[in-house]
Amino acid sequence: MLEERLFTQKLLESEQMLHRIACAFLRSESDRQDAMQETALKAWLHRNRLREERFFKTWITRIMINECRLIHRKAMRMIVTDTIPDQPAPDSNELETRLMLESLPEKQRVPLILHYLEGFSLEEIAQVQNISVGIVKYRMHQARKALRVEWNGKEEP
C-alpha cells in the first residue's frame, strides 16, 4: 500500500495525463472535473489494491477510463438543454483534429491517445484495457487507417 505522501505525489504527477484522458471521453469540462475527483477518491479508497508502485500509472488510468465511461453512460440518460460551450472555441486545426479523433470509435480512439499523447507502451495499453497487445496493434492500425481516409477526404477539392 502506498503511503499518503507518495500517493499524493504520484497522483499530482498524473494529473495532466488524467485530464487529457478525460478530454478524450467527455465533452463537458464539469464532467471532466467530476471524473478527476472521482478517480482520485476511488484510487485513495482502494490504494491497498495496488500491489506494486511501478504500476501506478496504468492502475490510475484504468480507474479514470472506468469513471469516464460511467459518467458518459449517466449523461446519455439525461436530456441536455444547455448548448453553451464550457470553454472558448479552439482554433480550426485543433478543432478539426479533435473532431477527427472524436469520430473514431472509443476502442480505436483510446489506444491512440494513450500511446501518442500519454506515452504509454503497447503493453501498458493492453494491460489498462484488459486486451492483448495484438488487439492494441490492430485497433491502432485501424484508427490510423480511418484517420488517413478522413484526412485525405478533407484534403481533396
Q: In this structure, what CATH number is given to the domain that contains residue 14?
A: 1.10.1740.10
* pLDDT level of residue 10 (50, 70, 90 thresholds): very high
Whether residues 105 and 55 fall in one domain: no
Range of the domain at 100: 90-157
Whether residues 69 and 95 fall in one domain: no
- Residues 69-86, buried b or exposed e (16+ Cβ, 10 A)? eebeeeeeeeeeeeeeee
Whether residues 65 and 30 fall in one domain: yes
Report pLDDT digits (tens) over 111-144: 988 888 888 999 999 998 889 999 999 999 999 9
Whether residues 79 and 98 fall in one domain: no
Whether residues 77 and 140 fall in one domain: no
Whether residues 46 and 111 fall in one domain: no
If one counts the domains in the chain, the total is: 2
72 vs 27: CA distance, rounded Å: 9
Beta carbons within 10 angstroms of residue 68's beta carbon: 26
Mean pLDDT score, 69-95: 61
Helix axis angle, 4-25 to 29-45, nearest 10°: 150
- Asked if residues 2 and 10 have their Cβ atoms less than 8 Å apart, the reply is yes
Mean pLDDT score, 12-36: 91
* pLDDT level of residue 25 (50, 70, 90 thresholds): confident
Which spans in 26-103 are helix H? 29-45, 56-76, 92-103
Whether residues 81 and 95 fall in one domain: no
Structure confidence at residue 72 (pLDDT): 79
Higher pLDDT, 93 or 129: 129
Beta carbons within 10 angstroms of residue 38's beta carbon: 17
Whether residues 71 and 28 fall in one domain: yes
Domain closes at, from 87, 109, 137:
87
34 pLDDT higher than 60: yes
Domain closes at, from 87, 105, 131:
87
Whether residues 39 and 83 fall in one domain: yes
At 76, is the secondary structure helix, strand, or coil? helix
